[in-house]
Amino acid sequence: MTPESIVTIGKDALYVTIMLILVLLIPALVVGLLVSVFQAATQINEATLSFVPKLIVMMLVLVMAGPWMLRILVTYTHNLIESIPQLIG
């Protein structure tokens, strides 16, 4: 096991993690921004007004992108487990 292989495994893990997080984070940020603009325009300062739309959007994104996210995780894990013999010997 060389330092390069460890760095490659770490790099791939970070790439997969960031890719999966951004799928959920970007829609939540957009909805939060839109709700904040709406709250600023109407001067409604209700905490649940920003929480509920984000929760709904996150659930919709998970339903729509969930199979893709699971496929990415399974592929990464499969490749990682298959590379164990090469890493050991």
Question: Higher confidence at residue 88 or residue 73?
Answer: 73
d(CA 63, CA 77): 22
Quick one: pLDDT band at residue 13, thresholds 50, 70, 90? very high
- pLDDT of 89 above 80: no
